[in-house]
């Protein structure tokens, strides 16, 4: 839409930046799309990207319509009573997926990631750079431990909300937290082996 003769307002500039970010993240991946290149694509001064969105991570979250910034919120959940971080993380993720408004963008991201090579690149790099590195640093664990916890939660979300396979889709939030929380806790604790399987 050309808007000749009128200077775009802040909301339009914001949206122009988000559109440019979506295009470049899709074309070049999360790491490849620099803030400078996104600014050029949007035809704005790079300072405006920082003014409107702060960091690249926050711009990605906004551009993907993700309803929350995992890199900000996961560390918050990891603070609090020790030994129950796993349960809190499971509960947080179940609640995010349970809300239709939150589920829709996750689902869109997952659908495009399993069917589209550019979306895969974008999601891969965001997960690696933002989510896994953040969890690993916050807990002092390896990224492989963080990945295993992420894998568990992605699988639960896949069975419960995408494939809707019973009984994962019909169990209560409390049942899933009680069952899956200790497995997540095991990873967050750096892989202290469960009692039943010490080798």
Q: What residues line the site for a second copy (CB under 8 A)?
A: 83-84, 86-87, 110-111, 113-115, 120, 123-124, 127-128, 132, 142-145, 147-148, 150-156, 158-159, 162-168, 171, 175-176, 179-183, 185-187, 189, 191-197, 199
Chain-centre distance for alpha carbon 124? 10
Contact 78, 138 (CB under 8 A): yes
Q: Which is nearer to a second copy, 40 or 158 (CB)?
A: 158
CA dihedral of 77, 79, 82, 88, whole degrees rounded to 10: -10
Token couple for 126:
């965001």
> At its nearest, how many Å lie between a second copy and the CB of residue 88?
12
Neighbours of 115 (CB within 10 A): 9
Token couple for 88:
């809190």
CA pair distance 30, 21, nearest whole angstrom: 10
Q: Which is nearer to a second copy, 60 or 187 (CB)?
A: 187
> At its nearest, how many Å lie between a second copy and the CB of residue 127?
5
Q: Which is nearer to a second copy, 104 or 144 (CB)?
A: 144
> At its nearest, how many Å lie between a second copy and the CB of residue 1?
31
> At its nearest, how many Å lie between a second copy and the CB of residue 102?
17
Q: Which is nearer to a second copy, 78 or 113 (CB)?
A: 113
SS3 at position 43 = coil
């Amino acid at each position: 839409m050309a808007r000749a003769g009128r200077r775009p307002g802040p909301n339009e500039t914001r949206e122009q930046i988000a559109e440019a970010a979506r295009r470049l993240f899709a074309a070049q991946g999360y790491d490849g799309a620099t803030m400078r290149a996104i600014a050029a694509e949007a035809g704005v001064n790079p300072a405006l990207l920082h003014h409107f969105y702060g960091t690249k991570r926050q711009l990605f979250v906004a551009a993907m319509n993700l309803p929350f910034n995992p890199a900000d919120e996961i560390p918050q959940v990891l603070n609090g009573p020790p030994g129950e971080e796993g349960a809190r993380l499971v509960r947080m993720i179940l609640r995010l997926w349970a809300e239709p408004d939150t589920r829709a963008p996750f689902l869109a991201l997952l659908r495009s990631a399993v069917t589209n090579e550019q979306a895969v690149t974008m999601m891969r790099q965001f997960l690696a750079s933002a989510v896994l590195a953040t969890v690993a640093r916050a807990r002092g664990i390896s990224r492989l431990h963080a990945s295993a916890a992420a894998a568990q939660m992605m699988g639960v979300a896949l069975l419960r909300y995408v494939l809707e396979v019973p009984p994962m889709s019909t169990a209560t939030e409390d049942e899933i937290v009680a069952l899956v929380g200790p497995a997540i806790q095991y990873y967050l604790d750096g892989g202290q082996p469960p009692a039943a399987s010490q080798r």
